[in-house]
Structure 1
């Protein structure tokens, strides 16, 4: 245990602990209003734990292992006590399983229970990443006054809703997450899940798609089936969407995220809402690093936020001052502070697709469209970028293989004569036509260095209906903070997929869960005065 403590201290860049001698009370019973009982573990210093500020972690991922050792233990060694509570139907807590849709009531009941414990002091800080962060958003507008701060990491108030867009279904994440949750209580689950990852990804080619879970698990999974059958705007998910509650949050929040994280766009939306409403007594904070959904560096930032900022608020002290927004500017590879998101001073600049694969701020000349053929039986693959799973390369990667495919178009500027900094929301407007009425448009922004190596910065996809007529497709890419260096080139990719991150478009208009036919399509991308396809970058030139 102490070896783990020393390793975590080094990896997370933490100050030495006040103690490494801890005690754990296991399987505490937490009653819910409907009669269900959830199980909790309480971590404390071996002596003197009663009354310390409590770090509350509500999780579906178990109360031991990586979560306890990497998230709770470092805090308890440095002045907190921690309560780790298993959500419904996980690790001994009563069911039935109901991911996302029961976290508000269960979270508020957990806080009521916590405050009544004899070892409770005066304060709670909500901490944790991903689903654990989502459990904070589910209750944040209605927490009791004993909750002094929340630190949701790589999460947002709607969590999985972005994946379930009707105009851009992100297949890989909800499917693989559902399989992970279903299998996570097996012996050596983490190792076995990693070894079985390729099997899971192969299953995503199953037709119809509603049989893919059975191909992996041997039976259907309720969450996966619900994700396939109910789009984001379906009333089925209403209890899981807490975005409308964000303006009423008064507890101070410190949001931590990554430029290549799954939840970034709506996390930034939540922060913007908090920042504008300003209903709390303290300013909210935002920290975005060059991370994917999980990295050790991000864990360290989150732990330090809890220990420095969260602990001060829990004790009624003044936390260290800092700008509201701290961003890692990729390309420059440095941390910078800003007053808001998006930062001021970055004006939208249109870079137009041009004939011959060029990209420029000039209006395009008269020219025929570029063409490619998209085959859903051999779908354009997802390469790097926003992905969750460990064996798949995430984040920034070499795009050479992807750009060599005949179903990927590229448009590139000449070498830049000065640095160009892009910080904020990125979008694209692509004039597009398909031989079929159903098609996808995927757009990726890349940085091409002096050696010609193309690495991805951000991207996004939209699914179109009526694409057999010339369509003005507006694609929202992931936000970013990136400096394109002098001598580098800006590149835009256009294609019709990124499988299996996004579901492949079969071209038939059949429901995604039951589609069985795959139709190839001839796609056209226009760039002429009447159809000025462009990417819109929030830009500032730097001398």
Structure 2
């Protein structure tokens, strides 16, 4: 096992272990207030006295390689880790009630750990996805608070991921339901793929009613699937007791986050980060829809005339410096080696000189002397600035002296940071999460602060193959910029001159508009895909821009405003932004969906939240926007009948009219003039 641990360390690029001799205690019995016993394993340096505990709570089994590997990596660096099977899974007592049980059980587990002689009273948490949710279920409520939280590809609430834009995320919900419904009986613990089961799952995506699609997928009922299908209607409060977003801003625990541009939890996780950084920037648009009347063309809405009205921030918050040459402190990296955003100082040679744009600015204006350079030197022009050299970041005060590491970096008392990579909900993200956990927990529990010297926001700019550092999210260097839908299926930066006639299409849920790629749990189908077959369908409107005269970098939230009328009053609206290369291949970049107000008869202004992105459209490429009535099987079909989502069987086609006057996307253009 020592050899395997060493190989894992080298694969992750971690420094040599400080305490390679560890001991493992299996099947600790941890009692819950109702008498149920949950099982856990403990990993710690052999012979150590009382230590802090890093708690990892999982529904997937403490025997799985990923959590065992995490526990060993941390224990070999002087930490004590307890990995617990949550209620109703792999020998832990009780019934598994996904999400609803984690707060009470988590708090009881924390109290038990603090009462053990081998725990010094300090607790931290770690884990990704559902394991991240179990952290949010306890972190804001513990007193004394946690020492640290390591949150990978997760969020404080999952409801908006179950129903993005109010539409059931069918592909992801059924995929996860099949996983948890079969994991304890799968061959070799589910480590090997099962092609037969995968085919059965794909066929089950088309099963109706959705509430029994678990039977079609795995041959038995899965309580979570039944719940997520039964409570998909607007205003249903079934999941409210599982949501922790209201208390995120009050939490003072140091938090480190890892996510990816193609992760399904990205929008919710970024909302958590904005709350933690204490600067909720009013950027872009709210999501929703408003009925605008029954005329042939929509009436342009005035400011704040209803809950669905979009608001735009004229100015960003945070760092005040303008950015030259693409935006921020950058580190060159090949996309194929972007599994971790570790500093690559020294590679590529040269240097980048950055000057503070003005006195008092905590940001940097970077002018690249050599694009391959990774070493950054900052010269404070009589003001404050940031110096990054050899991978370390320091802060220069207004008088030229050194100040505290967190003072101007937005960390403050909360000390929150985030990494956004080119990952989905996949192995690349898990690798980055583990590296981040070692860094953050070493700092917060062991006093090794070397890895704290970095920006609060580090993100990967896709297609540009580089990492960028910012002081806040959304980056204040990105400007919300409208891109308009134009006649003749064109796109442009200038608004159309007149209303004109609407573009039309018909969506038939019996032959639903398909989708490819995007933020899916199934790694074989996720991320960017060729969209040309989708765009050739008659039920998809396609708007294409002119070839770009220069690179276009987008970093931040993306939204769409579409003025639409339907003949059934029961419809969804799907909008996707694509990148069309010189050969004509159209690849998805970001998208979003919205359920229109049920029963609406007039023109509706639909405000749609698309996934945030960090992406470079290359010179000569074209932007393309798809508008459709669905994206199946990623999202459940709108049957056009008004029946509850989980029970709908009958279908009714819906005719859409898209009014171009005022219909646009709002793009976060980095370094816009």
Over residues 69-110 of structure 1, what are the superposed CA-to-partner deviations in whole Å (9 max), with x where a residue is unaligned?
Answer: 443222222322211001110011111221111211111111
TM-score (norm 1): 0.93
Q: Deviations over 1:308-359 (max 9, x none)?
A: 2221211245453211111111121211110111010222111111122210
Shift in alpha-carbon separation, 1:70–1:400, aligned structure 2, 3 A: farther
Matching of residues 270-285 of structure 1 within 5 Å: 270-276=272-278, 281-285=413-417
Q: CA deviation at 1:166?
A: 7.2
Q: Write the distance in 2 (CA, Å) between the matches of 1:509 and 1:313.
A: 52
| Larger helix fraction of residues | 1
Match of 2:122 in 1: 123
Distance 1:73 1:512, change over 3 A: same
Instruction: Mark the CA change 1:358 to 1:140 in structure 2 (over 3 Å): closer, same or farther.
Output: same
User: Equivalent residue for 1:246?
Assistant: 248
Residues 380-402 of structure 1 deviation map (CA, whole Å, 9 limit, x = unaligned): 222111100233x2112222222
SS of 2:424's equivalent in the other structure is coil
CA distance in 1, matches of 2:412, 2:480: 32
Residue 33 of structure 2 is aligned to residue 33 of structure 1: yes
Residues 289 and 328 in structure 1, CA contact (< 8 A), matched pair in contact too: yes
RMSD: 2.2
1:193–1:124 distance in 2 versus 1, CA, 3 Å: farther
Could you give the per-residue CA deviations for residues 249-272 of structure 1, whole angstroms, max 9, x where no partner exists?
Answer: 111001111111111111111111
Cα deviation for residue 142 of structure 1 reads 2.3
What residue is the counterpart of 1:219 in the other structure?
220
How is 1:126-205 mapped onto 2 (pairs within 5 angstroms)?
Answer: 126-145=125-144, 147-164=146-163, 167-188=166-187, 189-190=189-190, 191=192, 195-205=196-206
Aligned mate of 2:535, from 403, 426, 449: 403
Structure 1: runs of 5+ lacking an equivalent: none
8 Å Cα contact 1:261-1:292 kept in structure 2: yes
Deviations 1:475-495 (A, max 9, x none): 110111112222221111111
Q: Which residue in the other structure is 1:68 paired with? A: 67
Q: Is this contact kept in 2: 1:346–1:423, CA < 8 A?
A: yes
Of 519, 524, 527 in structure 1, the residue corresponding to residue 652 of structure 2 is 519
Is the alpha carbon distance of 1:347 and 1:166 closer, same or farther for their aligned partners in structure 2, counting shifts above 3 Å?
closer
TM-score (norm 2): 0.76
User: What are the residue-to-residue correspondences of 1:70-89 with 2, within 5 Å?
Assistant: 70-89=69-88
| Aligned-partner Cα distance in 2 for 1:497–1:467 | 18
Cα distance change on mapping 1:539 and 1:197 into 2, 3 Å? same
Segment of structure 1 superposing worse, 205-214 or 183-192: 183-192
Partners of 1:356 and 1:146 in 2: CA distance? 58
Aligned residue in 2 for 1:508: 641
Structure 2 Cα separation of the partners of residues 434 and 405 of structure 1: 19
Could you tell me how far 1:431 is from its partner in structure 2? 1.5
Partner residue, 1:462? 594
- Per the alignment, residue 389 of structure 1 pairs with 522
Q: Which deviations, in whole Å up to 9, do the C-alpha atoms of 1:29-81 show, x marking residues without a partner?
A: 01112211110011234x23443443211010100122334432222223222
Give the secondary structure class of the aligned counterpart of 1:380.
Answer: coil
CA contact (8 A) 1:292 1:386 kept: yes
Larger radius of gyration: 2
**Cα separation, 1, equivalents of 2:626 and 2:672:** 25
Seen in structure 2, the aligned counterparts of structure 1 residues 534 and 415 have a Cα distance that, compared at 3 Å, is same
Return closer, same or farther for 1:161/1:471 CA change in 2, 3 Å cut-off. Answer: closer
Contact 1:249–1:280 (8 Å) recurs in 2 = no
1:384, 1:394 within 8 Å by CA — same for their partners in 2?
A: yes
Tell me the equivalent position of 1:330: 462
Contact 1:250 1:280 (C-alpha < 8 Å) held by counterparts: no
Match of 1:265 in 2: 267
1:305 equivalent in structure 2: 436
Residue 424 (structure 1) aligned with residue 556 (structure 2): yes
Does the 8 A contact of 1:49 with 1:81 survive in 2? no
Q: SS where residue 578 of structure 2 aligns?
A: strand
Asked whether the 8 Å contact 1:71–1:299 carries over to 2, the reply is: no
Q: Distance in 1 between matches of 2:34 and 2:668?
A: 50
1:479 counterpart = 2:612: yes
- Structure 2 residue aligned with 1:340: 472
Post-superposition CA distance 1:454-499 (Å, at most 9, x none): 2111110001124553221111101111122222211111111111
Equivalent-residue separation in structure 2 for 1:542 and 1:279 (angstroms)? 27
8 A Cα contact 1:12 1:299, kept in partner: no
Match of 2:112 in 1: 113
User: 2:514 & 2:272 partners in 1: Cα distance?
Assistant: 31
Q: 2:403: which partner in 1?
A: none
1:235 aligns with 2:367: no
Q: Distance in 2 between matches of 1:69 and 1:462?
A: 40
Match of 2:17 in 1: 17
**Residues 200 and 216 in structure 2, CA contact (< 8 A), matched pair in contact too:** no
